[in-house]
Chains A and B, each alone.
Chain A
């Protein structure tokens, strides 16, 4: 399959801050490729380099066969970029924004209507409304429509679902799935681990480094230990107790439970006794399947720099 993005050894520094360090990855045509990582991991910097808005200090970024630095003019005609912050004209209406971006790219709304119909139809009833007066979910759909209006080969979405409600988020991912039939490659960043499962492949990124690139399921399988879910009424106390238990390797909060790994990959009655000694009763423990977040935390814990490719 054709490579849409080939990044090799990308480094970027802002003053003394190393924003990106030796980033290498490849994205194939038609993929939905996710970048998962906490705030400040370097996702936006990386996306701005791919979008030709930043020049890397080191390394090469090849996008659709063009170098992102020397070929930026050609590239800009063929990429759709949706920045993390809503960046359309708030004082122009929905329709005016769309028409404006269509013209700027030398096309018309009519020409590519079928491409955005699925998304635009949600906001079309409000086309006379000013973009600034739209709700968060509608703004996001408008931004996506504008990014798609010129039928780009690559869509770059920087945290598109941040600050959007759960229903709209699910809807949004549904739309992205539908875009694959138009042969559009999508790279998307998100701080939400649950959204990682919806990507074809994900890269875990932390402190400017890629920790791992793989299919979401594979990443889960790479979890090295047995994982246990521990539940008790007082979660905060429970975490502290578990972390102080000598047999514990890691203990992280996860929803309403705590995900724990043990040195021996198993536990016995001494754990229950230990917890009871700390005043924690009604403890429920069962083995569970590691999620992406668990693997992410494990990689962070190790501070590993080894990149495992899938």
Chain B
């Protein structure tokens, strides 16, 4: 026991003696939270609209007014030439082109169906889809108004309708910051743990100090544990820093128990540290490790469900996520913070993560050789 304590103490001395790392450990989470949380959002504002109004009637102007009235759209150009509009789209000066054909007002007045044309810049598929959906919403509203006007004369019987009223549970305002922040906390802990711990072990290999440790009676298990514990503690402190920033800067709601959140992240960290140390037993230089680590971190994050929901991924990707620790922590963080899930609610995630942590750590201990 005394040996482990000394090994851990040695790691801490070394970490904080490095002037840069000592500061970066706490600087990184602060900066990461402040930058990533507000920046990574799917909310779309100010879609630049180009209008080709060939009709120029009250009806067409009303549609344009309704579009302009929403926060999503900004009419930046108005033209009569389709070519000019396409040019603007091509040059990236507008995102959406809306063409209102001649006779639009007259036909709607007569109660006949009309067609309008929308072209969207789909370089960014997400953007195009969302602005298309917003536009549809506005047009639907407009349609309803026309119908209301037409029926108000009393000549037609009222059409029975199913009214849909939606309510977004756990995040009523669909605030993307609330959605992203728990995920960013996961990324934060992942990056810190993975890179610091892995590099630490490889550095001992590079500088030859591991040779001197290997001839001592220190047990493999002790050595690996001593490499994990400091970064586990640092990771959890970073999580706390991240949560405080979330509260102070973004006023993030916290429905569940902080203890469960930390439990989830602690198990997640063990899994990540185990994998990092496992990889570092293969790498003989810091460069080799960084290259491999980068690969794993990117795959873990992009497939974790932080940006795209797991449910919309292909089946094989969902299978892969069974062993992706980041996918579990993403769910745990969101469920605990936004939904207030209890231990029972997320026990499957916790136990799965625990299994992954045990396997990765065991692999690291098994692969770490004191003799060549």
B208 contacts A104, CB within 8 Å?
Answer: no
10 contacts between A and B (CB under 8 A): A48-B372, A53-B215, A85-B208, A85-B211, A89-B209, A92-B10, A92-B17, A100-B6, A101-B212, A101-B216
Knowing A72-B371, A91-B14, A92-B13 are in contact, say whether A106-B217 is a contact too (CB < 8 A).
Answer: yes
Q: Which residues of B contact A53 (CB under 8 A)?
A: 211, 214-215, 370-372
B212 contacts A83, CB within 8 Å?
Answer: yes
* Identity of the chain B residue whose Cβ is nearest the Cβ of A68 in the assembled complex: B371
Q: A86 an interface residue at 8 Å Cβ cutoff?
A: yes
A83 contacts B208, CB within 8 Å?
Answer: yes
Number of A-B contacts (CB under 8 A): 70
Q: Which residues of B contact A85 (CB under 8 A)?
A: 208, 211
Complex Cα spacing A85 to B2, Å: 28
Complex Cα spacing A106 to B7, Å: 12
Q: Which residues of B contact A88 (CB under 8 A)?
A: 209, 212
Q: A73 an interface residue at 8 Å Cβ cutoff?
A: yes
Most buried by A among B7, B17, B18, B216: B216
Give A16 Cβ to nearest chain B Cβ, in Å: 17
Q: A32 an interface residue at 8 Å Cβ cutoff?
A: no
Q: B207 an interface residue at 8 Å Cβ cutoff?
A: yes
Q: Which residues of B contact A92 (CB under 8 A)?
A: 10, 13-14, 17
Q: A87 an interface residue at 8 Å Cβ cutoff?
A: yes
Q: Which of A74-82, A235-243, A268-276, A291-299 forms part of the interface with chain B?
A: A74-82
B371 contacts A104, CB within 8 Å?
Answer: no
Q: B218 an interface residue at 8 Å Cβ cutoff?
A: yes
Overall SS of chain B's interface: helix
Complex Cα spacing A105 to B2, Å: 11
Knowing A54-B371, A89-B14 are in contact, say whether A104-B215 is a contact too (CB < 8 A).
Answer: no
Which residues in window 33-90 of A have CB below 8 A to B? 48, 51-55, 72-73, 76-77, 79, 81, 83, 85-90
Interface string of A91-132 (1 = CB under 8 A from B): 110001000110111100000000000000000000000000
Overall SS of chain A's interface: loop
Which residues in window 193-251 of A have CB below 8 A to B? none
Q: Which residues of A contact B214 (CB under 8 A)?
A: 53
Partner of A76, one of B2, B10, B17, B217: B217
B218 contacts A104, CB within 8 Å?
Answer: yes
Give B201 Cβ to nearest chain A Cβ, in Å: 14
* Identity of the chain A residue whose Cβ is nearest the Cβ of B204 in the assembled complex: A89
Which residues in window 1-42 of B have CB below 8 A to A? 2-3, 6-7, 10, 13-14, 17-18
Give A83 Cβ to nearest chain B Cβ, in Å: 5
A103 contacts B13, CB within 8 Å?
Answer: no
Knowing A53-B371, A55-B371, A89-B14 are in contact, say whether A104-B209 is a contact too (CB < 8 A).
Answer: no
Given A85-B211, A88-B209, A92-B13, 6 additional A-B pairs, CB 8 A: A76-B216, A81-B212, A100-B10, A101-B216, A104-B213, A105-B216
Give A258 Cβ to nearest chain B Cβ, in Å: 39
Complex Cα spacing A103 to B209, Å: 16
B218 contacts A86, CB within 8 Å?
Answer: no
A87 contacts B207, CB within 8 Å?
Answer: yes
Q: Which residues of A contact B218 (CB under 8 A)?
A: 104
Q: Which 7 A-B pairs have the closest CB atoms?
A: A87-B208, A103-B6, A87-B212, A81-B215, A104-B216, A85-B208, A76-B217
Complex Cα spacing A307 to B76, Å: 94
